[in-house]
A and B are shown apart, each in its own frame.
Chain A
Amino acid sequence: MGAGSKLFGAVVAVAVFLAVIGVLLLLIDNAPKRGRERIQAFLFLLPALIMLAIGLVVPVVRTTILSLSNDAGHFIGLGNFRWIWQTDEARKALGNTIIWVAVAPIAATVIGLGYAVAIDKARGEPFWKALVFLPTGISGVGAGVIWSLMYAQPLGNPGHQRQLGLVNQLLSLVGLGPLNFPISTPSNTFLIIVVMIWIQAGFATVILSAAIKGVPAELTEAAKIDGANAWQAFRRVTVPAIRPTLTAVFVIVAIATLKVFDIVRTMYQNQGSADVLANLMFDQYATSSPGNNGANHSAALALTIFILVLPFMAYQIVQMKRRA
């Protein structure tokens, strides 16, 4: 298909969609007098309800059923979850995902907070903010290529003095060996986590910077007049004042971390067991064939991600309630 006709197809699809919405609005305008409000409410919500049912509710039910069955369609209870626990690669992926979520959200939040404070009211603050915010707009694939270059080593001569990747070059300057990325474990997991932190810290900076600016200046000033130094004022006044935002940022990054796929897919080439749940979930799906229960294992891995997300969500809701 030519580029023109494909783009034309997309535009036509949008036009058809908008026409359908137009008809819907016509129906809303001409709803019968009897029970008008209810009919209109129903019509406003109808497209969203259909899409949520087809795109989310039904698939979640199907994945749950899949995760509790084998590929012959028989119910096998928690067999697929037992598979996760008993298979080396799956257990490794679960362990790595837990390492990810223990490191990345805290690091991104702390770096974002530190940077937001450091540049707060500085000359050229928008510029400094933009520098760190930029990676937020870069795809996991793009970031993966960028950082693979940072970790690169000369082919066939990995320990050479003259390194190809900047990180390895800097390490060799201080007498430390090359990283041997991505073969060497467990450093490979942490080196990929760096990329996640690199993407998410800018998001944390922007949100936390807005929150810091919302803290009344009188509060920190009063603390200083009372004899607190800058660190104490920050620790005792600013941080408690922005705690709800800190929690929100932490939870958002944590949930994104549990689902991380693109960075790992790009950087980890099935070497040295740096796998995570979402990537293994994809591999199990992609290599599924009759008899190997791949689709069922994949469903169980997806459900595991969901189960890991739940406590973070619960924590966030509890925090929100406490505020309200």
Chain B
Amino acid sequence: MSSVTVAPAPGATGVLPDKQVSRVRKKLTNPVASLVAVVIGIIWTVPTVGLLVSSIRPRLNQNLTGWWKGLTGPFTTDHYKSLTTGLEGDTSHSLIPYLVNSFVIVIPATIIPITVASLAAYGLIWTKVRGRDWLFIAIFALQIVPLQLAVIPLLNLFTNGWHLGSTTVIPDFGIGGHAAAIWIAHSCFGLPLIIFLLHNFMSEVPGDIVEAARIDGAGHGQIYRQIMLPLLTPAIAAIAIFQFLWVWNDLFVGLIMGGGNPDINPITVKVQGLVSSSSGGGTELLPAAAFLSIIIPLVVFLALQRYFVRGLLAGSVKG
């Protein structure tokens, strides 16, 4: 890190490059700007490097010295072996089942809300019925409901149903303790934002296209499938990354809906459990466990950053 020299930030504030005066000023601002960039860049990177280095240090070294003393070794892959394929036949620490659980949760919890939201956004924009603007505002407003307000009653609904006195308003779904509870929870909670984002993207599609299709005799179902979905593929990709990261990184819903059941607990719940249970011993596995839990979203994040940023911009700047 220290050997990296920062390129000066020419025109960091938009100065004219060939003006003598501004060149003098640039010299004044650039060192400050570069220093800010380097310091922040280091602070934002070093902790993650520390985790990676710690994760490959033997237990004894971890307990004796800081990770920066271990940059030259000794290294070990034992922690990763122990957390994946097992060490010396002991697979009890394996995180693989929890990584699988995270995938089991994240796939439906990404596909379901985006599909439902795309239908809703279409209905809100392209069908001509009264009250749709009002409905859109109501859905938009639901975004402010914190998860905390909804998760526990939803869990009760899944396990007990909803009764008013002796009348059953909603029967229990019989899915308490099943991954389906987590899918439905994430799908419901993600809907307001996803509808809002897709509404933004979909309302940019020129009305002429839809009108032309209608004149040619296409129905709403056809327009949705054959015009909107293909046109919205980039937007849907952006939102899918967003939802994937959100669900994968979630702890709260997983902790409450998972209820400590190792069959459905996602990796975040498992790693958080390791933190609270490892004050006595077993801390040597923690850095490697944390690294395994963040590596998949990070790869997705880095590989698809461009799409993700597009989704972010659509959500926060326009909105």
Chain B neighbourhood of A44, CB < 8 A? 119-120, 122-123, 127, 220, 224
A17 touches B298 (CB 8 A): no
B10 touches A142 (CB 8 A): no
The residue on A at minimum CB distance from B310 is A210
Question: How far, in Å, is A303 (CB) from chain B's closest CB?
Answer: 7
CB neighbors of A among B64-122 (8 A): 65-68, 96-97, 100-101, 103-105, 107-108, 111-113, 115-117, 119-120, 122
Distance, CA A150 to CA B45, complexed state (A): 12
Indicate which residue in A117, A121, A134, A262 contacts B302 across the interface (CB closer than 8 Å): A134
Chain A neighbourhood of B220, CB < 8 A? 28, 40, 44
B44 touches A249 (CB 8 A): no
Chain A neighbourhood of B10, CB < 8 A? 121-122
B219 touches A145 (CB 8 A): no
Q: Does B294 reach chain A (CB closer than 8 Å)?
A: yes
CB neighbors of A among B263-280 (8 A): 263, 268, 271-272, 275-276, 279
Chain A neighbourhood of B124, CB < 8 A? 45
Distance, CA A124 to CA B34, complexed state (A): 12
Chain A neighbourhood of B135, CB < 8 A? 45
Indicate which residue in A11, A25, A38, A122 contacts B37 across the interface (CB closer than 8 Å): A122
Indicate which residue in B97, B113, B150 contacts A63 across the interface (CB closer than 8 Å): B150
Known contacts A17-B115, A121-B9, A207-B312; is A202 also within 8 Å of B44 by CB? Answer: yes
Known contacts A121-B11, A269-B279; is A224 also within 8 Å of B146 by CB? Answer: no
Q: Does A287 reach chain B (CB closer than 8 Å)?
A: no
In the complex, per-residue mask of B209-230: 1 if CB is within 8 Å of any chain A CB, else 0 = 0000000000111101100000
The residue on B at minimum CB distance from A28 is B221
Q: Does B157 reach chain A (CB closer than 8 Å)?
A: yes
Known contacts A6-B104, A13-B183; is A134 also within 8 Å of B111 by CB? Answer: no
The residue on A at minimum CB distance from B295 is A142
Chain A neighbourhood of B243, CB < 8 A? none
Give the B interface residue count (CB, 8 A): 130
In the complex, per-residue mask of A10-25: 1 if CB is within 8 Å of any chain B CB, else 0 = 1101100110010011
The prevalent SS among residues of B at the interface is helix
Question: How far, in Å, is A72 (CB) from chain B's closest CB?
Answer: 16
Q: Does B203 reach chain A (CB closer than 8 Å)?
A: no
Chain B neighbourhood of A245, CB < 8 A? 316-317
A139 touches B148 (CB 8 A): no
In the complex, per-residue mask of B124-142: 1 if CB is within 8 Å of any chain A CB, else 0 = 1001110010010001001
Indicate which residue in A10, A21, A201, A278 contacts B103 across the interface (CB closer than 8 Å): A10
The residue on A at minimum CB distance from B29 is A230
Question: How far, in Å, is B118 (CB) from chain A's closest CB?
Answer: 9
Known contacts A45-B119, A145-B290; is A295 also within 8 Å of B152 by CB? Answer: yes
Known contacts A121-B12, A163-B66, A202-B44; is A58 also within 8 Å of B153 by CB? Answer: yes
Q: Does B255 reach chain A (CB closer than 8 Å)?
A: yes
Known contacts A155-B63, A198-B44; is A224 also within 8 Å of B152 by CB? Answer: no
Indicate which residue in B7, B245, B294, B316 contacts A124 across the interface (CB closer than 8 Å): B7
A13 touches B28 (CB 8 A): no
A122 touches B249 (CB 8 A): no
A48 touches B152 (CB 8 A): no
Q: Does B33 reach chain A (CB closer than 8 Å)?
A: yes
B162 touches A58 (CB 8 A): yes
Known contacts A21-B119, A141-B290, A149-B47; is A122 also within 8 Å of B14 by CB? Answer: no
The residue on B at minimum CB distance from A270 is B276
A59 touches B116 (CB 8 A): no
Chain B neighbourhood of A306, CB < 8 A? 144-146, 148-149
A145 touches B104 (CB 8 A): no
Known contacts A45-B135, A133-B305, A261-B251; is A145 also within 8 Å of B271 by CB? Answer: yes
Question: How far, in Å, is A131 (CB) from chain B's closest CB?
Answer: 5
Indicate which residue in B170, B192, B271, B317 contacts A56 across the interface (CB closer than 8 Å): B192
A48 touches B48 (CB 8 A): no
CB neighbors of B among A174-221 (8 A): 198, 201-203, 206-207, 210-211, 215, 217, 220-221
A211 touches B157 (CB 8 A): no
Indicate which residue in B120, B275, B316 contacts A45 across the interface (CB closer than 8 Å): B120
Chain A neighbourhood of B105, CB < 8 A? 10
Indicate which residue in B34, B51, B117, B156 contacts A145 across the interface (CB closer than 8 Å): B51
Tell me the A residues contacting B by CB distance below 8 Å: 1, 3, 6-7, 9-11, 13-14, 17-18, 21, 24-26, 28-29, 37-38, 40-45, 47-49, 51-52, 54-60, 62-63, 66, 111, 114-115, 117-124, 128, 130-142, 144-150, 154-155, 162-166, 169, 198, 201-203, 206-207, 210-211, 215, 217, 220-221, 224, 229-231, 233-234, 238, 244-245, 248-249, 252, 255, 258-259, 261-262, 265-266, 269, 278, 281-282, 285, 295, 298-299, 301-303, 305-306, 309-310, 313, 320
- Give 24 pairs: A residue, B residue, CB < 8 Å, sorted on A: A6-B101, A6-B263, A7-B103, A7-B104, A13-B180, A54-B154, A55-B154, A55-B187, A58-B162, A114-B40, A117-B33, A118-B32, A118-B34, A122-B8, A122-B12, A141-B268, A144-B275, A145-B287, A147-B47, A202-B44, A295-B152, A309-B146, A310-B144, A313-B144
A-B pairs with lowest CB-CB distance, top 9 = A55-B188, A44-B123, A123-B7, A137-B301, A139-B249, A41-B127, A48-B120, A59-B153, A145-B290
Given contacts A141-B293, A244-B317, 17 further A-B contacts (CB under 8 A): A28-B220, A38-B129, A55-B185, A115-B36, A119-B12, A134-B302, A137-B245, A137-B300, A139-B294, A145-B290, A198-B43, A207-B313, A210-B309, A262-B252, A266-B272, A285-B152, A306-B145
